[in-house]
Amino acid sequence: REPPSAAQLRSASGGRRAGPQRTLGARPAMALPKFGMKSKAAGTKTAMKAMKAKRVPKIARGRFAKSQVLSGKREKTVGGVKADGLMKNKRGKVVSKRMSARARRFYHNVEPWIESIVEARQALHTKGFVLINGKTLVGKALYVKAKAIYAERRRRAGASAAASSAPSAEPVQQPVAA
């Protein structure tokens, strides 16, 4: 780009025809730019410093956190679980070994009720989602049937446990020492 001519510098409008100029009070006019030779030192730019690489996070967060830890992309989860504390369950979901073992231990508390529900659904020929003891008649019937089956199982289990723990009628013979 060429430097402006002297006539352009004199007119405030840059050489175009200008209308009447207005001045606001005693405000000084803006200083005009000076076009001259740049010194060599000012012309050379210093190279920008290279940015540091972004640090890869070690802690996995979010929905697929456990999956990332198990695959080795992250070191541990927010809860501190490392890859050796994780496993895949039978559905293929990555779960904590400790929590899975805990759930297996406590499942026996609800297992008889779940089996009773399954049996009641088969007896009533129930298909699809039915809310147990919900507002519908089918849901109410399912609950009543499951409760009856559950009570029968508990009664049978109690009777068999009592029979096995009761002392036998036959006297136990002790070996005679000679």
The list of the chain residues with pLDDT below 50 reads: none
Each residue's pLDDT tens digit, 32-84: 777 776 666 655 677 888 888 888 899 999 999 999 999 999 999 999 999 99
| Angle of CA points 88, 109, 98, to nearest 5° | 30
Backbone angles phi, psi at 141, to 5 degrees: -65, -40
Please report the pLDDT score of residue 9 as a whole number.
72
Question: Distance between CA atoms of 26 and 176, rounded to whole angstroms?
Answer: 134
Indicate the Cα dihedral angle 113, 119, 124, 127, nearest 10°: 90
Q: How much is the pTM?
A: 0.53
Please report the pLDDT score of residue 17 as a whole number.
58
Please report the pLDDT score of residue 55 as a whole number.
87
Q: What is the mean pLDDT of the chain?
A: 85
Backbone angles phi, psi at 87, to 5 degrees: -155, 170
Please report the pLDDT score of residue 48 as a whole number.
83
Please report the pLDDT score of residue 33 as a whole number.
75
Please report the pLDDT score of residue 29 as a whole number.
73
Q: Which residues touch 44 (CB under 8 Å, ≥6 apart)?
A: none
Please report the pLDDT score of residue 159 as a whole number.
85
CA 18 from chain center: how many Å?
A: 66
Please report the pLDDT score of residue 71 as a whole number.
96
